[in-house]
Structure 1
Amino acid sequence: MIVGTALLLSHSRGALISTVAAIAVLVFALRIGGVMKTRGTGWIFLLPLIFGIGLVLISGDRTAERFLFVVEEGQDRASLYSQVLTAIGDAPWTGFGLGAFEPAFHLYQNEDLLDSKIFDFAHGVQLEFAMDLGLPFAALFLLAILILLITCARGLRRRRRDQIFPAVALATGVLLGVHGLMDFSAQMPAVAILFAHLLGIGYAQSFNSDRRGRQKDGAIDGHTNEEKQPTDPPTSAILQ
């Protein structure tokens, strides 16, 4: 309840949308992994919905009000994205350098945006990576994360226990991926480190430990049998 209230009091529409998406993915992942039974899945969706509506009525009036001004407030964001895309088009292969968004964007900031605003982030993680690193390296970086998340998704079926770990990693990836489309939380060091930690745990627990154990035991047994295999005595000893 405290976390939900704090989320609404942040008045962040993107955070609310990404959190709802992440919770839905988490519940679905737990259902796929067999952690949740089919009979209780409906209640798992219904209870957070009722709880969320109650929080919105109590603490979410300002956040709900901001949804009414999406089109009006989105004009500056659309202009920002347009200028970032122009910058990407000017250096699509090399980018402007990691962390160079703020000084580089000054070259493209025009009268559509307020002169008093300083954009130190692109409010879009994927776009900023493309502008900083160039399209090839940004695509490789995001592809690496996507492969890890796909492995976590496959681990939900592959594992027979501890499916909660790949499920949480997958939901966290959705949370930051969706929020990254409209904001820059994934670029905060504390958030990035926590995501890397959860993703590493989820990836490590996405493989069938029984199969790895059998392969390891087979390798050990084969090595032991080779060591215990008797050797033939030398021919000179037999003749004597």
Structure 2
Amino acid sequence: MLLLKLFITAEAAYAAYGLIVYFAELDTILWFDKEAYRGLLTATFVNRNSYATYAGLGTMAALALVLRYLRHMLTTDADQRSRLRDFIETLTSSGWLLAVAVLLCFLALLLTESRMGLMAFLAGVTVLMLGWSLRLPAGRTRKIGLALMTLPLVLLVLNLSLSGDQTVARFASLFEQGDQRFDVYPLMQEAIAERPLLGYGLGSFESAFRLVRDENISVLFRRGHSDYLELVMEIGWPATLVLLSAFLLMLASALKLYLSRTDFELALLFIAATVQIGVHALVDFSMQMPAVVFAYLFLAGAAFGASRRRTPS
């Protein structure tokens, strides 16, 4: 639990740095000038979409601990007024840092103006909130939990109020002007059909894509903007299926822990993180960023590490 709190602290620190740079209009990453995404929040990342994934993981990690404290409060034998008082005392004493971390990380995510980053995060946080609500005891307690399912909608409204013009404009441009990544996907499928078993070699996308690129693609694509298609293109179907099966095995193990343990929030957090990253990987390459991979694997370690039962020595 201590390591998870340190992880959340680091996430909040990155978000705070990104917010300072953004509102100061510095357009720098540390002491380097930005080469891309000027005027947008990227913290110490170059790509805003990758940072949106990273910030989303931090937001959900802090939110999972808040939900854990809330569950303990809701399932005590005290009356409703005492429960509310205890929760407020916790939130204003030791728990206020978690609330600040949620706010900082989510605000940073919004200001990246990443369309799919926001959609993937909302998918993950919906799984987190729904899974948490369904594990609460039946009755008023579960009704309170289900009422909190409005949180994703509240977050979406907050996004529209803070950066609504930019977000709506970006979604509108997707339908009006299109996105060249959707022109790239059929070409990647053609390349996969040429070498479906062995692929072109790990890390060879940029050079291999030149073999199928046509005159309709005016932008240089160093990555495929779809981790799944790019992976199949580079290492072939058999290796891809084996690799993805490892993630599915971890997901199934986390689901088992979520259903079987009383203290289930960390397992549920890993499930929600998998949903967020899995959705975003459909149209981007966040899982190729070491910081995102390490954060995801850390949440996996937190989920499975917390599941170990201590036995008498």
Residue 173 (1) aligns with residue 277 (2): no
Residue 121 (1) aligns with residue 223 (2): yes
- Judging changes above 3 Å, is the alpha-carbon distance between structure 1 residues 35 and 153 closer, same or farther for their aligned structure 2 residues? farther
Q: Which runs of 4 or more aligned residues in structure 1 lie more than 4 Å from their structure 2 counterparts after TM superposition? A: none
Which one of the candidate residues 279, 283, 286 is aligned to 1:182? 283
Report the TM-score when normalising by structure 1. 0.79
CA distance in 1, matches of 2:144, 2:215: 54
Any residues of structure 2 matched to 1:95-174 within 5 Å, and which?
95-114=199-218, 117-161=219-263, 163-174=264-275
CA positional deviation for 1:48: 4.3
Aligned length: 209
**Higher-RCO chain (CA-CA 8 Å, sequence separation at least 6):** 1
Which one of the candidate residues 74, 78, 93 is aligned to 2:197? 93
Match in the other structure for 2:121: 19
Residue 45 (1) aligns with residue 149 (2): yes
CA distance in 2, matches of 1:47, 1:20: 10
CA distance in 2, matches of 1:15, 1:35: 33
CA distance in 2, matches of 1:188, 1:95: 22
- Judging changes above 3 Å, is the alpha-carbon distance between structure 1 residues 105 and 54 closer, same or farther for their aligned structure 2 residues? same
CA positional deviation for 1:75: 4.9
Please, what is the CA RMSD of the aligned residues?
2.2
- Judging changes above 3 Å, is the alpha-carbon distance between structure 1 residues 189 and 131 closer, same or farther for their aligned structure 2 residues? same
Residue 10 (1) aligns with residue 112 (2): yes
Indicate the SS of the match to 2:250.
helix
Match in the other structure for 1:238: none
Indicate the SS of the match to 1:134.
helix
Q: Deviations over 1:186-216 (max 9, x none)?
A: 1101101111111132234457x38xx4xxx
- Judging changes above 3 Å, is the alpha-carbon distance between structure 1 residues 35 and 165 closer, same or farther for their aligned structure 2 residues? farther
Residue 77 (1) aligns with residue 178 (2): no
Report the TM-score when normalising by structure 2. 0.62
Identical amino acids, percent of aligned pairs = 31
Structure with max Cα Rg? 1
**Equivalent pair of 2:136/2:145 in contact (CA under 8 Å):** no
Gaps of 5+ in 2: 1-102
- Judging changes above 3 Å, is the alpha-carbon distance between structure 1 residues 119 and 35 closer, same or farther for their aligned structure 2 residues? farther
CA positional deviation for 1:71: 2.8
Q: Which amino acid aligns with 1:202?
A: A
Q: Deviations over 1:58-82 (max 9, x none)?
A: 2232112211222344452221000
CA distance in 2, matches of 1:166, 1:157: 9
Indicate the SS of the match to 1:160.
coil
Match in the other structure for 2:28: none
Q: Deviations over 1:122-179 (max 9, x none)?
A: 1101111101110000111011101111111121111122x11111111110110000
